[in-house]
Amino acid sequence: MSARSEQIVLSQDYQPEDLDQLSKQMMATFECIRTHESNRVLSGLDSAAPTTPSTQATSQFTSSGLDSDISNQVTAGQVVEVVSDNGGDTMDVTIYGTDTSDEAQSETLTLTGLVAAVGTKLWNSIHGAIIASAPTGTVTLQNSPGGTAILTLTSGALTKGLDAEAKTIAIDTIKVTADAATTKLITYIGTDESDAALIETVQLDGTNEVETTNEFKTLTHVAVGELEAARTATHVTSTGACAWRVNTAEGAVVVDGVYGSIAVAADYAVHATTAINGLAVGTSVVAAIVAKNVAGTISVDAVIGTPATTGSQVPPTDAVIQAELGADVSWVRLTDATLNRTADTTLTQSQDNTVRPILGVNVPYALGDL
């Protein structure tokens, strides 16, 4: 092809307006680089698994159904009474279950020996009961007046329908699933953030997760006297501290034009306070570890994402990181650390250093994006 022919082809393929657009895109690219080049990792700061393994206190426990503890369910909309076959029994009996709207309620009745102590509350279901001290005789909770026995308490069985769970919770809701199909009610018994008594009833939805409305600080019992003996309820909540760590090598960054030399951090604490809500067996969570510039001081911080089923967990977005750090804080991403709960007391974790941005741009840019 002659030189003249090549000129004709070029003029056909590249019109002036095309070259003008290309020039504008290139200028925009260089402006992007110029604007963001002050946010970059200069050297080091590679992350690896911690020297001390990450830990989290048990956040999962189970309760087997105790419907066999309930001889007969209460007649819906009726009051109940307690009576002993020994005249010397005068201790308190506390009953748990639901009212006529299927909301949680409790009632404490004081035994008067052979004479029935009659309650005032109307019941739809009884989930369990506890007696304050060992009785001499057999104490019966029954429909009133003098109706069918619901359950009995003795010196060898101070509770019926109750799974004892002495747990301190990180002021959190409780999530529960059953191991198979069931729509029975269970009642949680404990205290709230201000240490006041708190009870709440939830209706199970088989293997689908349901959650309490209230946040518990402590949990003393789960009333499962209506749940079938063949069923197991699995409860998930934050019951203790989480120590999530990562090792960080020595390195240097520039964030918003400020140079920062960051020392090696053995077992850097990604999270070391209350437990991570919702990190049940088979779930994972990702934390973005970043270098940030606050008033000219460079430091390392971590922003934790939302727990999800292992394999579907996602890192916190740039918008989430910015909101967590503050609107005026500049930062650069160093690594994404992933924490997986593989068993009730077993955690595994990994780090991904490939998420570091090119030229300090936290969101990858393509030429066509500009």
Confidence of residue 239 (pLDDT cuts 50, 70, 90): low
Mean pLDDT of 163-171: 79
Please write the tens of the pLDDT for every residue from 199-211. Answer: 999 999 999 989 9
Give the pairing type, strands 308-309 and 346-352: unpaired
Mean pLDDT of 94-123: 97
Better pLDDT: 282 or 178: 178
Mean pLDDT of 177-203: 96
Top mean pLDDT of 22-26, 38-42, 279-283, 297-301 is at 297-301
Mean pLDDT of 214-230: 94
The pLDDT of residue 165 is 85
| Token pair recorded at residue 244 | 């999530």
185 contacts: CB under 8 Å, gap ≥ 6:
98, 102, 125, 127, 201, 202, 203, 204, 226
Confidence of residue 368 (pLDDT cuts 50, 70, 90): very low
Better pLDDT: 132 or 243: 132
Q: Which range among 39-53, 150-164, 205-219 shows the weakest confidence by mean pLDDT?
A: 39-53
Confidence of residue 346 (pLDDT cuts 50, 70, 90): confident
The pLDDT of residue 9 is 46
DSSP string, 65-114: --GGG-SSPPPTTB-EEEEESSTT---EEEEEEE-TTS-EEEEEEE-BTT
> Which residues face 178 on adjacent strands?
233
pLDDT at residue 32 is higher than 80 = no
Mean pLDDT of 68-72: 97
pLDDT at residue 2 is higher than 50 = no
The pLDDT of residue 202 is 98
Better pLDDT: 41 or 287: 287
Residue 194 CA, distance from chain mean position: 21
What span, in angstroms and rounded, lies between the C-alpha atoms of 122 and 353? Answer: 61
Q: Which range among 7-16, 85-94, 110-119, 344-353 shows the weakest confidence by mean pLDDT?
A: 7-16
The rounded mean pLDDT for the chain is: 85
| Token pair recorded at residue 319 | 């918008």
Mean pLDDT of 284-293: 93
Confidence of residue 109 (pLDDT cuts 50, 70, 90): very high
Q: Say how many C-beta atoms besides its own lie within 10 A of residue 162's C-beta.
A: 24
pTM for the model stands at 0.62
Confidence of residue 3 (pLDDT cuts 50, 70, 90): very low
What span, in angstroms and rounded, lies between the C-alpha atoms of 71 and 225? Answer: 10
pLDDT at residue 268 is higher than 50 = yes
Q: How far is CA 320 from CA 8, 299, 326, in A?
A: 53, 18, 10
Torsions phi, psi of 253, nearest 5?
A: -140, 160
